[in-house]
């Protein structure tokens, strides 16, 4: 990878992560063998990571080959993307030149396809007057420090970074990318959740999905707070989450061949879907007194809870064709770790 990508070696025992196949009897599977992911990070300036580990690590996506992407937070609070491939971490940072500044920008890698293309988000700097006078859909637009409008999508392909933005909207989070290059995620303006809308970018252009009253509608509707988090390779099933702003209840959703359905289990009104694999198994989290990760197998059996040992919160965020799942959890000390779990 190019000059703004740095590497370090780590020993983790999950080289077989992408080698499994979905079993004939999926319901008989269990997920018990969790491996923790902590990105190594220098204790020296400028990162100042305690004990040489990232202050927080999240695993966001995994492809068929077992390559994992995510992000980590260093000791001074800056966010960096990473790629974990063959036991080696590579830091992924969007260059500041995209936004007209020096250095690298806070970056989160979120999805990776089988060809190694990576999508995610970066934060443009508050750099007046440049960042406040350019157009809404500029890679540099950032109206105020901490504004959601400063969050932009990116694509890393063939050694080059490019920006993923939806015309007329300042903010984008690119969450997943298929082998065909279709990108799924959300667009937003200035409020993040309250004006968030799911989108897909294909070679034909952009399409928006808005959840309205439990029905699928086009992007002209004002009901928002929905996000597309993944899709099957053919795009016929899209998954994500949405919040009913009148009640505050959160639901997963599945769009199958254009028809909308809510997924409201295991916790009614407190469930989210983060990703789906080609077999139709999907993952996410639900909340009772805490967040729990889960996987829902395609046979319709009861969802399997995915909580690493000693976790007080967990979320399953990515799944590959072999059924390997990645996510994040918080331990009893409050430290956030990534995890990877392979079907038994």
pLDDT digits (tens, 9 = 90+) for 30-60: 888 899 999 999 999 999 999 999 999 999 9
Quick check: 312 and 331 in contact, CB under 8 A? yes
- Helix H or strand E segment including 131: helix 130-133
The whole-number pLDDT of residue 9 equals 29
- Quick one: 123 exposed, middle or buried, by C-beta within 10 A (0-12, 13-18, 19+)? buried
**Residue 16 phi, psi dihedral angles, 5° rounding:** -85, 10
Q: How confident is the model at residue 167 (pLDDT cuts 50, 70, 90)?
A: confident
338 or 210, higher pLDDT: 338
35 or 192, higher pLDDT: 35
Choose the most confident range, by mean pLDDT, from 168-177, 195-204, 214-223: 168-177
| Both structure tokens of 192 | 């993040």
Q: What does pTM read for this prediction?
A: 0.88
The whole-number pLDDT of residue 209 equals 58
- Pseudo-torsion of CA 180, 184, 190, 196, nearest 10°? 150
Give the gyration radius of the chain's Cα atoms.
19
The whole-number pLDDT of residue 24 equals 35
192, pLDDT greater than 80: no
- Pseudo-torsion of CA 90, 203, 298, 212, nearest 10°? 110
Please tell me the distance from the alpha carbon of residue 134 to that of residue 103, in angstroms, as a whole number. Answer: 20
213, pLDDT greater than 50: no
215 or 197, higher pLDDT: 197
Please tell me the distance from the alpha carbon of residue 176 to that of residue 185, in angstroms, as a whole number. Answer: 7
| Both structure tokens of 24 | 């004939």
């Amino acid at each position: 990878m190019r000059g703004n990508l740095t590497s370090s070696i780590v020993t983790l025992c999950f080289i077989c992560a992408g080698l499994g196949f979905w079993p004939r009897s999926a319901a008989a599977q269990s997920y018990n063998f969790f491996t923790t992911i902590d990105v190594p990070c220098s204790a020296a300036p400028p990162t100042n990571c305690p004990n040489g580990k990232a202050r927080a690590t999240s695993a966001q996506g995994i492809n068929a080959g077992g390559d994992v992407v995510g992000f980590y937070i260093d000791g001074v609070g800056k966010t960096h993307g990473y790629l974990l491939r063959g036991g080696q971490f590579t830091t992924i940072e969007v260059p500041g030149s995209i936004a007209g500044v020096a250095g690298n920008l806070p970056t989160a890698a979120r999805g990776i396809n089988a060809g190694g293309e990576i999508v995610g988000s970066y934060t443009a700097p508050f750099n007046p007057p440049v960042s406040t006078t350019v157009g809404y859909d500029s890679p540099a637009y950032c109206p105020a420090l901490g504004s959601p409008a400063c969050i932009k999508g990116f694509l890393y392909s063939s050694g080059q970074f490019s920006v993923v933005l939806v015309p007329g909207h300042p903010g984008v989070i690119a969450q997943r990318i298929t082998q065909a290059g279709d990108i799924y995620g959300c667009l937003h303006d200035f409020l993040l959740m309250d004006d968030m809308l799911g989108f897909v970018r294909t070679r034909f252009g952009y399409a928006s999905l808005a959840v309205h009253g439990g029905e699928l509608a086009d992007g002209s509707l004002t009901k928002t707070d929905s996000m597309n988090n993944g899709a099957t390779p053919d795009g016929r099933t899209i998954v994500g989450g949405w919040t009913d702003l009148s009640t505050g209840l959160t639901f997963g959703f599945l769009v199958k061949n254009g028809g909308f359905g809510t997924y409201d289990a295991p916790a009614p009104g407190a469930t989210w879907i983060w990703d789906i694999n080609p077999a139709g198994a999907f993952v996410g989290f639900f909340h009772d007194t805490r967040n729990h990760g889960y996987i829902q197998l395609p046979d319709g059996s009861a969802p399997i809870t995915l909580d690493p040992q000693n976790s007080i919160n967990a979320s399953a965020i990515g799944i590959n064709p072999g059924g390997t799942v990645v996510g994040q959890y918080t331990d009893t000390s409050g430290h956030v770790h990534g995890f990877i779990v392979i079907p038994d």
